[in-house]
Amino acid sequence: MDNKASHLPHWALGALVALGAVSPGPFAAGDAMLAPVRIESGLVAGAGLGERNEIHVYRGVPFAAPPVGAFRWKPPRPVTPWAGVRMCTEFGPWCPQPKPMLGRELGGMSEDCLYLNVWTPARAPTERLAVMVWIHGGGCTTGSGAMAAYDGETLARQGVVAVTINYRLGPFGFFAHPLLSQESEHGVSGNYGLLDQLAALQWVQRNIAAFGGDPDCVTIFGESAGALSACRLLVSPLATGLFHRAIAQSGGPHGRNRHLRAEWYGMESMEHLGERIAQKLGCDKAPDPVAALRAKSGEEVLAAADASQGLFGKGNKFSPIIDGWVLPEDPGDVFDAGRQHRVPLIAGSNADEGTVFLGQLPVKGVLGYRLAVRTLFDGRAPEVLRLFPAARDAEVPAALDKLVTVSSFVVQARYLARSMANADTEAFLYHFTHVPAVSRSGERGAFHGIEIPYIFGSLQKAWGVRLPAEEPLSKTISACWVQFAKTGNPNGAGLPEWPRYQPDSDKYLEFGDAVGAKSGLYREACDLFDEIQAERRRNR
């Protein structure tokens, strides 16, 4: 994209490839080469989408230097400028990761993974369109900004610049070790994946105007680990001024947040976990243990790390760490005190978040269910069982689904909305209940992550089949997200009335077979779990 949106002819592209100024890359069907755009590191060429190339897409744009070799487990560094034109027509590699849950797609992997993707309808840098930056989920262990469901074309067609990013995952993004902390000028290690997200947002501030975006109107949005990340960015002092609205889908600030050096929530410190992994890799006795760790292959690191997936997966949990620098405090403490970044917020959950995680729980009948509840909630178990009863074995899966849904997701969304409202900041709460007419969806209900292709308008790309009956809901929820990104408020002409969240009215918008405002979603249970979470933080 440039001021005239001219296209580079194919003979010119061929000449640039022959001269080595452009790296050849595959094109999607219908893509057309576009005139280069200048960003801080050099010229990038993208592709046009649509019959008249009305959307411009730039795939695989580097926002940081490759974190490989001696730069594994170091903060992201600036991109080395290049000469000529860099072709940005294919996605960058995925961060190395284990095979994901539920058989999701998995792309080519490399530790050289710090790339982002931009979709824009702008024809000139002066348009200053709202920007939406997507942070993908996957438990901080799997996923990529290149997944089919995250295609930004439909969002861009509604007048925003859509950006999806990669960040380091699992043991590459959240590995800590005392010797790595000694290397750091801040005396810390482990939050590399979160630093990557910050680097991507800094890149947006410096470069998005070249794609017609407004660096003063940036919305971060993410689901699951992406929402968890957004909540950490909301409390990180390093994120000040980098975004202006936030959307947290099925994720929040609570949970067993691991500390860099102290034992929290019954979990070993991340530095101690790093020492165990180094020992497992045989690097602990090396003359230079850090150099020995960096010399190990990505496959060896992945195997030794044994990263867990899902809420209840076996193995080691990797996620953002309370390190005293990137995250100075437990996020819940910051929200409680009203010291989070005060930006307009959307937060919400789905009706059946728990179904995709139930296979990780060895709970078969009523006795097992009651034992699990007592293990998880100790002295508060009788109150939990009263709200989520199961008198017969056949009732256990549904009870467990609702328990996981409310205790891990609904309560987090309400807590976020309530915290913002208490800080006199606009917040909007939602609950997604629609069960799509796709294979196997009936047994999982409105499951974890099902709202994503509706928001992106990527239903056919995500599911591989067009379902016209699903398109009206997708257009509604997608338009709400875009309106919020543009104005800080999801209300607008032709959109459902979405009341601002207030603790006393406890109103939310349901995206279901019908869309409308309701109030008091699992109010009694949310009150109970708020108390339990506060107790856990006091006793951590």
Q: How far apart are CA 377 and CA 361, in angstroms?
A: 15
Which amino acid, 126?
A: T
Residue of 308, 448, 451, 458 with catalytic role: 448
Sheet architecture: strand order including 115-120 = 32-33, 47-49, 55-62, 115-120, 161-165, 129-135, 213-223, 245-249, 345-350, 427-432, 507-511, 515-519
Q: How far apart are CA 509 and CA 515, in angstroms?
A: 7
Entry field: residues in the chain: 540
Burial class (CB in 10 A: 0-12, 13-18, 19+), 171: buried
Strand, coil or helix: 306: coil
Question: Is 229 one of the catalytic residues?
Answer: no
Question: Is 353 one of the catalytic residues?
Answer: yes
Q: How far apart are CA 358 and CA 51, in angstroms?
A: 45
Taking residue 494's Cβ as centre, other Cβ atoms within 10 Å add up to 8
**φ/ψ of residue 255, rounded to 5:** 125, 180
Sheet architecture: strand order including 85-87 = 37-39, 42-45, 85-87
Residue of 144, 189, 224, 236 with catalytic role: 224
At which residue do the structure tokens 């099925």 appear?
250
Burial class (CB in 10 A: 0-12, 13-18, 19+), 478: buried
- 120: which 2 tokens? 């824009």
236 neighbors 264 (Cβ within 8 angstroms): no
Residue of 353, 451, 470, 510 with catalytic role: 353
Q: If we measure between CA atoms, which residue out of 51, 42, 46, 30 comes closest to residue 161?
A: 46
Residues whose CB falls within 8 Å of the CB of residue 399, separated by 6 or more in sequence, listed in order? 369, 388, 389, 390
Question: Is 448 one of the catalytic residues?
Answer: yes
Convert 36-94 into a string of H (helix), E (strand) and C (coil).
CEEECCEEEECEEECCCCCEEEEEEEECCCCCCHHHCCCCCCCCCCCCCEEECECCCCE
Q: Could you tell me how far CA 393 lies from the centroid of its own chain?
A: 36
308 neighbors 316 (Cβ within 8 angstroms): yes
Q: How far apart are CA 100 and CA 139, in angstroms?
A: 10
Q: How far apart are CA 168 and CA 171, in angstroms?
A: 8
Which residues are catalytically annotated? Answer: 224, 353, 448
